[in-house]
Amino acid sequence: MNKNRENRVNTATAGEPVMRSCIDCAVKNCRNGEGSYPPFCLTTGMDPEVEAAAMAEYEDPQVRAFTIAAAEVEAEFYCKLTRIEETIEFARKIGAKKLGIATCVGLLSEARTAGAIIRHAGFEVVGVACKCGAHKKVEVGIPKSCESAGPNMCNPILQAKYLNSQKTDLNILIGLCVGHDSLFYKYSDAPVTTLIAKDRVLAHNPVGALYQAEAYYKRLLQ
């Protein structure tokens, strides 16, 4: 084990080794490059080959354009625009013309509203819902017991393939289930941004559980 990795390893209460990283940091001095860094800091302990490989990707013209556009949206509209407005501004900056919406059928109303807003902003919009194709869950080996949530499967791969066929420039994800969203990201040709992260219990506000992890949702840490 190298010294940097060793510095990042502590022992959890259960006796299992835990690698400390950015999620364990309280100083955040990497924001401005000032002050000291904790012993497990990834800024000072990053594998130089990994860092060099990452920075080399920014030489790609499309990656660089996306990076600049994202930074400009952050700087110009910080705490001024909602996420859907920021998404529209980002799409404009990257020169997108056709936007795709991959939505959960349970959020079709929200997807229609989002589509109307984006169309009003001057974009072509095409959407596809998760149950598109109406394939049965058992067709792909999903246990029949899962039909308690409905007989037809969510089909994020079909959603991605359809939007790929439509040559979308940017895809927007609205409320796909955990795991289904992962498959959509994997198969989408166009870059993807998430507008709504599904959380049925918290009205699609998953950060609420984190804010209340020491109170109403303390069971998450027990």
CA distance 206 to 198: 7
What's CA 187's distance to the chain center, in Å?
14
Q: CA torsion 90→96→102→108, rounded to 10°? A: 80
Burial class of residue 163, CB neighbours in 10 A (0-12, 13-18, 19+): buried
Q: How far is CA 215 from CA 13, 118, 209, 210, 212, in A?
A: 21, 38, 9, 10, 5
Q: Identify the residue whose tokens are 């625009």.
A: 81
**pLDDT for 1:** 38
* pLDDT at 11 (0 to 100): 46
CATH architecture of the domain 96-222 equals 3-Layer(aba) Sandwich (3.40)
- Any idea where the domains of the chain sit in the sequence? 3-54, 58-95, 96-222
Residue 15 is predicted with a pLDDT of: 64
Q: What's the average pLDDT block by block, 10 residues per block, for the chain (222 residues)?
A: 46 69 91 90 93 97 97 97 98 98 97 98 98 96 95 98 98 98 98 97 92 83 82
pLDDT of 5 reads 45
Asked if residues 178 and 170 have their Cβ atoms less than 8 Å apart, the reply is: no
pLDDT at residue 14, rounded to an integer: 57
Write down the pTM of the prediction. 0.88
Helices (H) and strands (E) in the chain, counts: 9, 6
CB-CB contact of 184 with 173 (8 Å):
yes
* Tokens 């007989």, residue located: 151
CA–CA distance, 211 with 175 (Å, rounded to integer): 21
